[in-house]
Structure 1
Amino acid sequence: MNLALRWRIVLLGLAFTAAPAFAAGATAAPATTQPAAAPLAQRPGHAAIASANFLATNAGFEVLAKGGNAFDAAVAVASTLSVVEPESSGIGGGFMATLHVAKTNRDVFLDARETAPAAVNPKDYLNPDGTPNRDAALKGPLSAGIPGEPAGLVWLAKHYGRLPLKDSLAPAIRIARDGFKPDPRLLASIKGEQKDLERWPASAAKFLPGGKPPAAGAVWRDPNQARTWERVAEKGDAGFYQGETARKLVAAVRAAGGNWTLADLAGYRAKERQPIVIDYRGYRIVTAPPPSSGGVAMAEIFNILSGFDLSKMDQAHRVHTIVEAMRRAFRDHNDYLGDPDFVKMPLAMLLSPYYADGLRQSILPDRATPSSMLPHGPAHDPGMHTTHFSIIDKDGNMVAITSTVNYILGSTFVAGDTGVLLNDEMDDFALVPNKPNVYGLLGSKANAPEGGKRMLSSMSPSIVIGPERTAVIGSPGGSTIITQVMEGILHFVEGQSAQQIVSDKRFHHQFLPDVVDVEDGVFDAATSAELKRMGYTLKPREPWGFMNVVTWDRRTNTLDAASDPRRPSGLGKVQ
């Protein structure tokens, strides 16, 4: 029987399989586990932080030393990354956070994702022939959503921190004012984006002092951003979304052809949402709900994989099974997901183990499923233009934050003398339905732009609580974030250390294009040959992702922190 006919039979059978409605977060039942041999620690007694830059990690410990907790440290790390890693995140962008509050044993998701301005018009992102205008979507003020990071950090400090906001922001303000030596990746980013930075006077003034990128080893200062953070430290939300900063932001954006208003800024709110909780083989995975697509996609993948014993498979069949689960999750990602405040999504179906049962039955044991055969353009580099950090403090509070300005140096547009580099998150909307964005992801009406709407994200900050070990995990990487975090969690479940998890080689599939992205060395020659025989196209990529992981072994009460070796400037530190 040929493959096409086999698939028609499988899909016909699935069409008649009803999936009962389950509440959001419903998953397959966890496997039973043996009780621990000794009492497990209830609090670590010390702290661990892993971030993409040593200055940010040290800023977090500086705030902990002042008596702060993990949430105060998160404010310090995020704001410092805004100064020292602007190519990936910052005050003009947004973030998503998964939090664990130890005192109340409560899990929280904080949504500080950017929103579309009220005057958004999809026609602004089209060329005269109706094709996507990539420049409008990725460069300049039209590409920027209303930033969420300042509101999110203020919310974090106000509701969960111990210290005054000014104490937690002090390291970032000091480093921006006094200066630091940019790492090679920031210098390369500025050089790579120099032509676009030169289009905007304030961008050139900030990133190209004297008309050229900063020299290696030279001290670089950002006094304008320092002053903006000082206003936030003094006035909270109002220091950014109202008053002097707001007026300067709107004036700069509108002068350059953008459409922000003071009302857009004044109306922005960070939001707490119920996280998605996944049970996988006795491990409780707490992760991101929409407007992140990460949690839903990972729930689908883990629910599908729960019906297989990966440990008994050879590497080729293990990868085959995982890739087919990825393929089906990304198909649903493209079709259904968006901002829950604007779109009704079939989450009960997507998160149901019965739905996963049907998807599992459609996986052939020895053949790839062409994406074109599942009901329902060329990809760009998966990218590393986001950042993630992980924190556990001495009391067991946990923070997983993924923060972004989207692409390299965001929109490359700095808003006047505020020092605020704006994001280019408007490209994460389906600006033109069923046309790929910069990460090759497709979208539907569910992710179409509307005023005040949050664009869909792949950010997947996660906390994993097992029978004896806990992990805080996340990574940048555009559409690969979901598969990176999923693979990292699988490795954690298999018993790997933090350093092993961040160092593991990676592979990725996102439905379309129908290829498996592979990092050099991820498969041996025999596995690659077998996957190709099964029908897979393997596409080599440069290394991607900058994962940062903290683990807590509750048997020995030891913490471990590791930063991805793909970025030497990162630092995982236990203290």
Structure 2
Amino acid sequence: MSISFDWRALALGLLLSGAAGFAPAASAKQAPQAAPAAQRPGHAAIASANFLATRAGLEVLRKGGNAFDAAVAVAAALSVVEPESSGIGGGFMAVLHRASDGRNVFIDARETAPAAVDPKDYLKPDGSPNRDTALTGPLSAGIPGEPAGLALLAKDYGRLSLQQSLAPAIRIARDGFVPDPRLHGAIVSEQKLLERWPASAAKYLVDGQPPAEGATWRDPDQASTLEALARHGHDGFYRGEVARKLVDAVRAAGGNWTLADLAAYRAKERTPISLDYRGYQVITAPPPSSGGVAIAEILNILSGYDLTKMDAATRVHYIVEAMRRAFRDHNDYLGDPDFVKMPLDMLLSPYYADGLRQSILPDRATPSSMLPRAEPANAGMHTTHFSIIDADGNMAAVTLTVNTTLGSKFVAAGTGVLLNNEMDDFALVPNKPNVYGLLGSKANAPVGGKRMLSSMSPSIVIGPERTMVIGSPGGSTIITQVLEGILHFIDGQDAQQIVAHKRFHHQYLPDVVMTEPQAFDAGTEASLTKMGYTLKQREPWGFMNVVTWDRKTNQLDAASDPRRPSGLGQVQ
């Protein structure tokens, strides 16, 4: 069946009213008691990167599912329709809020290094980083975490069975869909790398060429893998036939996965980072994400200033200086908490922020230290994020990734699974930059079973009268995008204003302020240059998806980033 739709009318953020079919449906588990009426929106909102994924989430909500069931449906559908950004061969991080008891939890479905990881595989004979093995092929792939994370969400937080929540994605993969322009463009741009491996070429190319625009694309192998996950849960992916096919394909192509690596993988629940900023509770991602620590450190520094009373240049100055200091700590301290002892009490302390604040001059840029310079790649729009609030007030902020566009470009034959290239997020060579220009220390060195550091920053912000669920793709810029979104939300901006706002970014090294076109007016640029900043304009980055809830008016708003190349709007 060919699926077609008018791209001008696509809904990247959709609202579902309480009158649109929230009657209870048969479920595998008894629904938790609903939150008091004053805390319930009574309707739901989803903002994701693809209309078909958003529609899959809404379908599951209509069946009686909650935000967490919808998250399973959206994530799995994105694996089918947006493989350039995420998939079951990758991982995710999520911040959840459960309305029935107010619990906040972080789900860590980050990939892990295989036990046989060898740093020498990522070096050239002269000792310099081998960017090819770090970014393409099976050696670049960590053990996937997304299937385990989806199984955990369904088992411990959902109302429906995993089979019910995966059904829309399986149907889309079996019946077919029309790839959007971004996926088509990714296949075109990565064609030469896809041609290296027969299963990759078979999945993404037709007679050796990218599929024709507007053609229906089916993914029966991934449908079969999703069906195994639906039937058998966690073990349907990490044990049995699917696991054997994955390991056989990886090893045949020169990789080092084992069945034991897959069998040992577990998604984990962790305590999210929570802080107060000007009366707003910010709930965000802990390690192995670096994002939440950096955001908290930046907000703690900025809490000593009244940004609302500053002119534009001065406001940017203080935000950039806070970014600079947080990214320096990011590079030096952070890693997988199961392997690395990190001084989180220090990094998250307001007293530590007080000391950092004292080092900021009111009218001058602080030069970054003399570490090796690194040039970050364009942040781009790979990785993906979606935000959900359901009728009971359950919330899910979920950021998913396979790392760079189409991950490793390697598809494991017989599974339809496109593997990630997250091994590059380790500090494969200490103090040498990864693809995003981020440096790392031994805290983020690769070790078997260890999770690589991530910039993913799914977050929930709860204020006196308004709530926001937020996140974005964009490599190292994820952190600063979410930070700026939080500041705009606290300033009173609505969902559409938040996702559309022009962005800027500083990550300690290189010592430049990366800006989108027209991020600053001429006067602000002149003032920042006079302060000693080097501004470097880049093409727009990120693809933020935001849902806001005005609890005073009980209004939900969902908005998707207008930066999407196809120029799609929002339908509510």
For Structure 1 versus Structure 2, the TM-score category normalised by the shorter chain is over 0.9
Find the residue that maps to 1:539 and give its secondary structure. strand
Structure 1 contact 148–268 (Cα < 8 Å) conserved: yes
The answer to whether structure 1 residue 546 and structure 2 residue 543 are counterparts is yes
Q: What's 1:49 paired with?
A: 46
Name the residue aligned to 2:158: 161
**Corresponding residue number in structure 1 for 2:498:** 501
**Aligned twin of 1:149:** 146
Q: Distance in 2 between matches of 1:400 and 1:340?
A: 21
CA distance in 1, matches of 2:521, 2:272: 37
Distance 1:292 1:302, change over 3 A: same
Indicate the SS of the match to 1:389: strand
Verify: 1:432 aligned to 2:429, yes or no: yes
1:130 partnered with 2:127: yes
Instruction: Determine the C-alpha separation between the residues in 1 that align with 2:277 and 2:571.
Output: 28
Q: Any idea what SS the aligned residue of 1:546 has? A: coil
1:306 aligned onto 2:303? yes
Q: In the TM superposition, what are the counterparts of 1:5-20 in structure 2 within 5 Å? A: none
CA contact (8 A) 1:516 1:538 kept: yes
What is the one-letter code of the residue matched to 2:528? L
Pairwise mapping of residues 232-381 of structure 1 onto structure 2 (< 5 A)?
232-372=229-369, 377-381=374-378
Q: Distance in 2 between matches of 1:492 and 1:364?
A: 27
Tell me the residue number matched to 1:13.
none
Query: How far does residue 374 in structure 1 lie from its aligned partner after superposition?
Result: 9.5
SS across alignment from 1:41 = helix
SS in 2 for 1:211: coil
- Using the TM superposition, give the Cα deviation of residue 417 of structure 1 relative to its aligned residue in structure 2, in angstroms: 1.3
Indicate whether 1:185 and 2:182 are aligned: yes
* Residue type at the aligned position of 1:281: R
Q: Could you say which residue in structure 1 is the equivalent of 2:415?
A: 418
Match of 1:140 in 2: 137
2:460 corresponds to 1:463: yes
- Residue of structure 2 equivalent to 1:398: 395
Q: Deviations over 1:305-326 (max 9, x none)?
A: 0000101110000000000000
Structure 1 match to 2:13: none
Using the alignment, how far apart are the partners of 1:296 and 1:358 within structure 2?
17
Q: Is the 8 A contact 2:40 2:392 kept in 1?
A: yes
Distance 1:369 1:171 in 2: 51
Q: Residue in 2 aligned with 1:106?
A: 103
| 1:127 shift after superposition | 0.1
Which structure 2 residue ranges, 5 or more long, are not aligned? 1-35
Matched residue, 1:198: 195
Matches within 5 A, 1:221-240: 221-240=218-237
CA offset at residue 390 of structure 1?
Answer: 0.1
What letter is aligned with 1:526? Answer: G
> Which residue number corresponds to residue 563 of structure 1?
560
In structure 2, C-alpha distance between the alignment counterparts of 1:342 and 1:537, rounded to whole Å: 37
Shift of 1:383: 2.5
Give the SS at the match of 1:181.
coil
Question: 2:372 & 2:215 partners in 1: Cα distance?
Answer: 55
Write the deviation string for residues 474-494 of structure 1: whole angstroms up to 9, x where unpaired: 000000000000000000000
Name the structure 2 match of 1:472: 469
Matched residue, 1:521: 518
Separation in 1, partners of 2:204, 2:253: 18
**Retained in 2: the 8 A contact 1:563–1:570?**
no
Secondary structure at the residue paired with 1:61? helix
Aligned residues: 536
CA deviations on 1:127-168 (whole Å, 9 max, x unpaired) are: 000000000000000000000000000000000000111110
State how far apart, in whole Å, the 2-side matches of 1:509 and 1:384 are. Answer: 18
Give the counterpart of 1:484 among 481, 486, 494. Answer: 481
Deviation at 1:420, TM superposition (A): 0.1
Contact 1:53 1:569 in 2 (8 A): no
2-structure distance, mates of 1:372, 1:528: 23
Deviation at 1:516, TM superposition (A): 0.4
Q: Equivalent residue for 2:206?
A: 209
In structure 2, how many angstroms separate the alpha carbons of the residues matched to 1:519 and 1:168?
38
* CA deviation profile, 1:260-301 (whole Å, cap 9, x unmatched): 000000000000000000110000000000000001000110
Instruction: Call closer, same or farther: CA 1:571–1:399 in 2, change over 3 Å.
Output: farther
How far apart, CA to CA, are the structure 1 residues paired with 2:245 and 2:139?
Answer: 16
Matched residue SS, 2:92:
strand
Query: Do the aligned residues in 1 keep the contact of 2:94 with 2:458 (CA within 8 Å)?
Result: yes
Indicate how the Cα distance of structure 1 residues 344 and 283 shifts in structure 2: closer, same or farther if over 3 A, else same.
same
Q: Deviations over 1:412-470 (max 9, x none)?
A: 00001100000000000000000000000000000000000000000000000000000
The alpha-carbon deviation at position 373 of structure 1 amounts to 6.7
* CA 570–286 in structure 1, closer or farther in 2 if over 3 Å, else same: farther
Question: Do the aligned partners of residues 423 and 570 (structure 1) sit closer, same or farther apart at CA in structure 2, a change above 3 Å counting?
Answer: farther
Task: Return the letter of the residue paired with 1:276.
Answer: I
Cα 1:376/1:203, change in 2 over 3 Å: closer
2:70 partner SS: helix
Q: Distance in 2 between matches of 1:40 and 1:234?
A: 36
Q: Which runs of 4+ in 1 moved over 6 A?
A: 373-376
In the alignment, the residues of structure 1 paired with residue 353 and residue 297 of structure 2 have an alpha-carbon distance, to the nearest angstrom, of: 6
Find the counterpart in structure 2 of residue 79 from structure 1.
76
Q: Once the 2 structures are TM-superposed, how far is the Cα of residue 210 of structure 1 from its aligned partner? A: 1.5
> In the TM superposition, what is the alpha-carbon distance from 1:41 to its structure 2 partner?
3.4
CA contact (8 A) 1:54 1:571 kept: no
Partner residue, 1:171: 168
> 1:474 touches 1:548 (CA, 8 Å); kept in 2?
yes
Preserved CA contact (<8 Å) 2:117 2:446: yes
SS in 2 for 1:372: coil
Counterpart CA distance in 2 for 1:569 and 1:113 is 31
How far apart in 2 are the matches of 1:95 and 1:436? Answer: 23
Q: What aligned pairs does 1:434-453 form with structure 2 within 5 A after superposition?
A: 434-453=431-450
- Which amino acid in structure 2 is aligned with residue 525 of structure 1? A
Aligned equivalents of 1:570 and 1:305: distance in 2? 35
What letter corresponds to residue 485 of structure 1 in structure 2? V
Shift of residue 569, structure 1, vs aligned partner:
7.2
- The CA RMSD over aligned residues, in Å, is 1.4
Distance 1:111 1:187 in 2: 30
Which amino acid is 1:127 matched to? K
Q: Tell me the amino acid that sits aligned with residue 117 of structure 2.
A: V
Whole-Å Cα distance in 1 between the matches of residues 261 and 63 of structure 2?
36
Distance in structure 2 (CA, Å) of the matches to 1:406 and 1:240: 20
How far apart in 2 are the matches of 1:573 and 1:207? 30
Measure, in 2, the Cα distance between the counterparts of 1:374 and 1:572.
Answer: 44
What is the aligned partner in structure 1 of residue 87 from structure 2? 90
Letter in 2 for 1:322: I
Give the secondary-structure state (helix, strand or coil) at the position aligned to 2:533. coil
Q: Using the alignment, how far apart are the partners of 1:99 and 1:374 within structure 2? A: 37
Aligned-partner residue type, residue 455 of structure 1: M
Q: Deviations over 1:312-356 (max 9, x none)?
A: 110000000000000000000000000000000000100000100
